[in-house]
């Protein structure tokens, strides 16, 4: 086989893997009751695909092919062991019963909706620390390699590999069941899932460290996971609220950087470059979230993600910066602050206040937040304060605040932007 054909075949296998890996691991985890073992079996099937598909071509039903090969390899390996542990013997017997036709290319794809939802809740289980939930979600559901995840979060591959291994061991040691939580704890566990997906999106939207302002691949992966989750839990308003928020935010990705990668702030962006298809999808998802809430009795208010999506909608639907409904945004931030009190939310509310009622109104709240100290290590506090001071003509004070913010951020592009703004204050 030529090098070009081999490379094309490998890319095709990798593309199928990204689509099918979550479903494959979910089905295997249901069969084995062990997420770590399921991932190992899935990787074995991937190796088989890389060996066979370049010669035989991609099968008509690649997901079924991978599932069947994974189960067969597991059964063959365990049956060959001289001493077979009872647990694996039972799994092997169960897998043999599940295996139907001899030809994996013709094997029927099993229903995966419930399995995939179970895998989502396992990967985001509260027994794991937050960084481990993020890494495991991207590994199991996103189909990303350890190296890709490490690169996205700017840590060595060995560190990320250890994080993922520890996460799987923790799940096994804690005996976390492969199941959707009971209704009594469903809301709390779903909130953990949504938090993980949004953390992935935010790291892509505004990278916390490194040389790049954004990592769009992470945004797209989080949005894909959100859309899958919305299909799996169609009656959950906050899932649609989160999807709406990410759709609106993602619509601006193409306008947030210049050709050289330098940041372009919201008020300076070319709005003709915003993705109208994503804005339309966001509008539909937000309407679906609101519709589900209105259908409930008694009526309930929007949740935190739907409120943030409504704020993003105000920006996305304004044809120009001056047309933005800042008073509506102030009201939405007030509702969000009441629902989920947070200094970060109040800082955003201060920006909205300054746009709706003048910089003095925003600065008053920012100064109060500075005294309270909850955002002492958050670089956007001095950044916002600097911007408000500059609008008030207090240029020397603004320059000091921009420089302080630049010293606090870990992102090189953002640091350059803040230092440039400090230079404009001279």
Average pLDDT (166-177) is: 91
pTM value? 0.82
Q: In the predicted model, is pLDDT for residue 147 greater than 50?
A: yes
pLDDT band at 125 (very low <50, low <70, confident <90, very high): very high
Half-sphere exposure of 197 (CA within 13 A, CB side): 32
**Model confidence at 109: pLDDT above 60:** no
Arithmetic mean of pLDDT, 192-196: 92
pLDDT exceeds cutoff 90 at 338: yes
| Res 277 pLDDT > 60 | yes
Name the CA dihedral angle for 421, 415, 199, 222, rounded to a multiple of 10 degrees. Answer: 90
Q: What is the arithmetic mean of pLDDT over 344-353? A: 97
Give the pLDDT mean for 87-102.
Answer: 56
C-alpha–C-alpha distance, residues 311 and 328, integer Å: 8
Task: Quote the CA–CA distance of 66 and 68 in Å, as a whole number.
Answer: 6
- 128 sits in the region (left: phi over 0; alpha: psi -120 to 50; else beta) called beta
Percent of the chain with pLDDT over 70: 88
Cis bond upstream, residue 103 (ω within 30) = no
Task: Assess whether pLDDT exceeds 60 at residue 136.
Answer: yes
Contacts for 322 with CB less than 8 Å, ≥ 6 apart: none
Q: Is the dihedral of CA 27, 31, 37, 42 positive or negative?
A: negative
Mean pLDDT (the chain) is: 87
Is a pLDDT exceeding 90 seen at residue 30?
no
Burial status of residue 235 (CB atoms within 10 A of its CB: 0-12, 13-18, 19 or more): exposed
pLDDT computed for residue 36 by the predictor: 86
Provide, rounded to the nearest whole percent, the portion of the chain with pLDDT above 90: 53
Closest CA to 378 of 405, 353, 411, 348: 405
- 147 compared with 367, residue with greater pLDDT: 367
Q: How confident is the model at residue 56 (pLDDT cuts 50, 70, 90)?
A: confident
Q: Is the per-residue pLDDT at 304 higher than 50?
A: yes
**Cα-trace Rg, the chain:** 25
């Amino acid at each position: 086989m030529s090098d070009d054909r081999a490379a094309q075949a490998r890319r095709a296998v990798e593309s199928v893997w990204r689509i099918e890996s979550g479903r494959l691991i979910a089905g295997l985890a249901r069969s084995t009751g062990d997420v770590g073992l399921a991932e190992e079996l899935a990787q074995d099937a991937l190796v088989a695909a890389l060996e066979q598909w370049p010669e035989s071509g991609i099968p008509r039903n690649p997901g079924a092919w991978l599932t069947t090969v994974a189960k067969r390899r597991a059964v063959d390996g365990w049956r060959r062991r001289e001493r077979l542990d009872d647990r694996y013997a039972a799994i092997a017997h169960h897998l043999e019963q599940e295996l139907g036709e001899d030809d994996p290319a013709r094997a029927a794809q099993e229903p995966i909706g419930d399995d995939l939802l179970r895998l989502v809740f396992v990967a985001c289980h509260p027994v794991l620390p937050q960084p481990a939930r993020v890494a495991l979600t991207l590994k199991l559901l996103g189909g990303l390699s350890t190296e890709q995840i490490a690169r996205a979060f700017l840590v060595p591959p060995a560190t990320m590999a250890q994080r993922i291994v520890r996460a799987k061991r923790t799940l096994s040691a804690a005996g976390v069941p492969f199941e959707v939580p009971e209704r009594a704890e469903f809301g709390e566990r779903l909130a953990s899932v949504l938090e993980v997906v949004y953390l992935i999106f935010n790291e892509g939207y505004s990278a916390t460290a490194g040389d790049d302002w954004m990592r769009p691949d992470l945004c797209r992966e989080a949005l894909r996971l959100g859309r899958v989750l919305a299909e799996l839990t169609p009656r959950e308003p906050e899932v649609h609220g989160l999807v709406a928020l990410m759709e609106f935010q993602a619509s601006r990705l193409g306008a947030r950087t210049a050709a050289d990668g330098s940041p372009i702030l919201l008020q300076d962006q070319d709005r003709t470059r915003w993705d109208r298809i994503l804005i339309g999808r966001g509008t539909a998802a937000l309407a679906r979230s609101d519709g589900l809430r209105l259908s409930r009795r008694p009526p309930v208010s929007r949740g935190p993600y739907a409120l943030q999506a409504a704020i993003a909608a105000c920006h996305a639907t304004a044809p120009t910066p001056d047309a933005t409904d800042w008073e509506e945004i102030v009201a939405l931030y007030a509702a969000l602050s009441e629902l989920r009190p947070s200094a970060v939310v109040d800082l955003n509310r201060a920006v909205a206040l300054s746009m709706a009622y003048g910089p003095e109104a925003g600065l008053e709240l920012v100064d109060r937040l500075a005294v309270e100290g909850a955002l002492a290590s958050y670089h956007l506090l001095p950044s916002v304060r600097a911007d408000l001071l500059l609008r008030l003509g207090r240029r020397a004070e603004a320059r000091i605040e921009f420089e302080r913010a630049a010293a606090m951020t870990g992102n090189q592009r953002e640091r350059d932007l803040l230092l440039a703004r400090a230079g404009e204050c001279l």
